[in-house]
Amino acid sequence: MHFLRTTLLFWRTYLPRILRARRTLIVALGCALIPVVALFLLGIKYGPSPIEVFMYPAYYMVLMVLVPLAAVITGSVIVSEEVEDRTISYLLTRPIPRATILLGRWLACATVLSVMFVGTLGGLRAVVEWKAPTWKPTEPQTVEWTDRRGEKRTRTRERETAPELLAAMEDGELPEGLFEAVLVSALLGAAVYSALFAALGTSNRHPMIVGLGYAFAIELFLSNLPGSSQALSVQYYLRSLLLSENPELWGRLQEVQLKTYDTTTQALTTLAIVLVVSLAAGSWVISRRQYILSA
Amino acid sequence: MSALVVADKVGAWYGQVVGLSELTLEIAGGLTGLVGPNGAGKSTFLKLVAGEMRPARGSIHVLGFAPFANRDYFRRVGFCPQQEAIWDDMTGLEAVTFLMRLHGYVPAEAKRRANAALDRVGLGDPRSRRIEGYSKGMRQRTKLAQAIAHDPELVIADEPLNGLDPVGRAEIQALFAELGRSGAHVLVSSHVLHEVEALTERIVLFHRGRLLAQGPVGEVRKLLSRHPRRVEIRARDTRRLATALIALEPVQSVRIEPGNRIAVETGDVERFFGELTGIAASGNFGLQSLESRDASLEAVFDYLVG
């Protein structure tokens, strides 16, 4: 059977199955939470401005947490669940290129993740742009009180937002290119991480544990190291996609301390290479490996 | 006619555990039963035949192909694995149709074949229900359906009668007989000899990863009963006892060993034990213990005659 046709058959068959899976529901709930959090933040007195409400969750919750987490949860099981459920016997004794099992199922996984991240980021944008026209920074408020020694004390409650950030959304809409850069970064991140963990699942017996360790220990450590070591993490390239498009805005967020970053082209190229190499390595393993099922 | 399966010094391991050891055999076409106690190596052998495993040592050829990851070979065989697992979130019909699609059939033909195979194995209405609600027998039927739906030249079924009720067993046995008559080769394994006996006269007997015997069931039984077995006896008066034992008809040889022990070799262990009881009762030999040195073989023998 033709390679592409079999890959698409796996994609089509796995798509409804992945949608029915409990782990997909968990990821969907995580995604749905982001716009809700944004809505909550916009209602807080002295809370962040609308553009910050878009940028912080997009960066910290989506790119740093949700993308790798969703990819581990859904990607690592692509092959390993067939081994664990002992159903892989039916697939490995069919006249098909074995690599199509990995590729078709990864495509289905990437499709579902893409829909989810388009939904969550679209929802986040919609909430921010809906609330932005009516949002006003809360005026600083000075509170006076007398301490135990009878001395009068004052404290001013206010939240400082960089003027550049406030100005960027004066018209009530996100600045040009900001949403698109975050979306591309999230979609590519989901594709690359899920391919990485799917490949891991072809050879590792506990890909989810190893994947979580990689995403939230090794990557986190590497991506926060000063110097060129950051370039060894996928996160570095995902951040580069953001910073190369809107450096002045992301630079205003104190927490985004990335002094060096790649250009969009360099980041896209590197992510594409990681994606292809992961899928090629996974395909190579599944094509040659003998899966011994436990009794 | 060339053999269906040719295995040459095949070895297979599960880590440190031996699955098959130096297995050399040929199996002719037709319907053959693989028998042996649990853990004998039947499933390992069938996984090698099905192309799910590759031999760690030696070589195996089936229908002239080296089976492992061989797409040309997979077009010709149907494999019903031992494990109950099959995709719980699919219906029986969906699962079999999907697997037929992997054989290259267009959707309509794949569905037609799946329905026909499910009819043949006797899975009626439940085929439209999700597999998670299936009984063990329904799963077994679904697994068999996916193994025969593409009309393979060779059907490999690992313990296919497990989990089936007596009526179900009879139906599936009739199906195998029908497959055999239609010209397909069938390899069926079971740890229950009479199940296989009801299907075919030709058996291959495995034990501890080795080939123990092969041929018609009756001959295999005879062969095993003639196989000499060693019995070790501890007694106070070994010389007198040895003299008495050598006179027994089933005894082939007697050797006195240090430590008041006698090693006896017999060709008919059941008869020997029967006659030994008489000797022990008639003479004062101070019999202390009795131990069969070929305990494993004994177990197989019991299994076979039981």
pLDDT, tens digit (0-9, with 9 covering 90-100), for A173-204: 888 889 999 999 999 999 999 999 999 999 98
Same domain for B69 and B209? yes
**Whole domain around residue B23: which residue ranges?**
5-224
Residue of B68, B87, B104 lying closest to A1 (CB–CB): B104
Q: How far apart are CA B92 and CA B134, in angstroms?
A: 9
The pLDDT, as a whole number, for residue B1 is: 52
Last residue in a domain, options B194, B224, B254: B224
pLDDT at residue number A243: 86
User: Which residues, other chains included, contact B286 with Cβ-Cβ below 8 Å and sequence gap of 6+?
Assistant: B235, B236, B237
B196 and B166 in one domain? yes
Q: Which of B224, B253, B278 is a domain's end point?
A: B224
A45-59, A73-87, A175-189, B123-137: range with lowest mean pLDDT: A45-59
ipTM of the complex: 0.84
| Residue B60 belongs to domain with CATH number | 3.40.50.300
B33 & B159 share domain: yes
Number of domains comprising chain B: 2
B75 and B195 both lie in a single domain: yes
d(CA A206, CA B77): 32
Q: Are residues B182 and B94 in the same domain?
A: yes
In this complex, is the C-beta atom of B53 within 8 Å of any C-beta atom belonging to chain A?
yes
Q: Are residues B182 and B235 in the same domain?
A: no
Q: Which helix (H) or strand (E) segment is A135 a member of?
A: none
Q: B163 with B89, same domain?
A: yes
The stretch B36-44 carries a mean pLDDT of: 89
> What CA–CA distance (Å, rounded) separates B140 from B89?
16
- pLDDT for the residue numbered B121: 93
Q: Averaged over B229-251, what is the pLDDT?
A: 88
What is the pLDDT confidence band of residue B105, given thresholds at 50, 70 and 90? very high
- Model pLDDT for residues B152-161, shown as the tens digit of each residue: 999 999 999 9
pLDDT tens-digit map of B63-84: 999 999 999 999 999 999 999 8
Q: What stretches of chain B adopt beta strand conformation (E)?
A: 5-14, 17-27, 31-35, 57-62, 77-80, 154-158, 185-190, 202-207, 210-216, 229-235, 251-257, 261-266, 287-292
If one counts every other C-beta atom within 10 angstroms of the C-beta of residue A148, the result is 5
pLDDT, position A33: 94
Q: Do A292 and B90 touch (CB under 8 A)?
A: no
- Both tokens assigned to A290: 């003998």
Asked if B81 and A90 come within 8 Å (Cβ–Cβ), the reply is yes
pLDDT, greater one: A147 or B99: B99
Q: Are residues B254 and B197 in the same domain?
A: no
pLDDT: is A39 or B228 the higher one? Answer: A39
Q: Looking at per-residue confidence, does A151 or B31 come out higher? A: B31
Spatial distance between the Cα atoms of A195 and A192, rounded to a whole number of angstroms: 5
CATH code (residue B274): 3.30.70.920
Q: Are residues B251 and B277 in the same domain?
A: yes
Residue B219's pLDDT is what? 82
Given a cut of 60, whether residue A295 has pLDDT beyond it is: no
- Determine contact: A94 vs chain B, CB below 8 A: yes
Residues B171 and B92 grouped into a single domain: yes
The confidence score (pLDDT) of residue A261 equals: 80
Helix (H) or strand (E) holding B200, with range, is: none
Q: Is the pLDDT of residue A119 over 60?
A: yes
- Tell me the per-residue pLDDT of B158-205, one tens digit each, with 9 for 90 and over: 999 988 888 888 989 999 999 988 999 999 998 888 888 888 889 999
Q: B258 vs A45, which has greater pLDDT?
A: B258
Q: What is the DSSP letter of B41?
A: S
Residue B306: pLDDT band with limits 50, 70, 90:
low
Amino acid A254: pLDDT:
58
| Residue B86 touches chain A, beta carbons under 8 Å | yes
Same domain, B83 and B145: yes
Residues of A in contact with B68 (CB under 8 A): 290
Note the pLDDT of residue B296: 60
- pLDDT for B295 equals 59
Per-window interface: B 143-162 vs A, CB < 8 A: 146
Residues B219 and B235 in one domain: no
DSSP at A232: G
Average pLDDT, chain B: 89
Cβ within 8 Å of B, A 3-22? 6, 9, 13, 17, 20-21
What is the reported pLDDT for A182?
A: 95
Weakest mean pLDDT among A122-131, A152-161, A179-188, A228-237 = A152-161
Cα angle, residue A212 at apex, residues A209 and A213 outer, rounded to 5°:
85
pLDDT of residue B198: 84
- Most confident option among A108-117, A132-141, B35-44: A108-117
Say yes or no for a CB contact (<8 Å) between B102 and A89.
no
Q: What is the pLDDT of residue B294?
A: 67
| Residue B268, pLDDT score | 79
Q: Which residue among B224, B241, B257 closes a domain?
A: B224
Helix (H) or strand (E) holding B42: helix B42-50
For B96, nearest residue in chain A (alpha carbons): A90
Contacts of A6 in chain B (CB under 8 A): 102
Q: Under an 8 A CB cutoff, do B83 and A293 touch?
A: yes
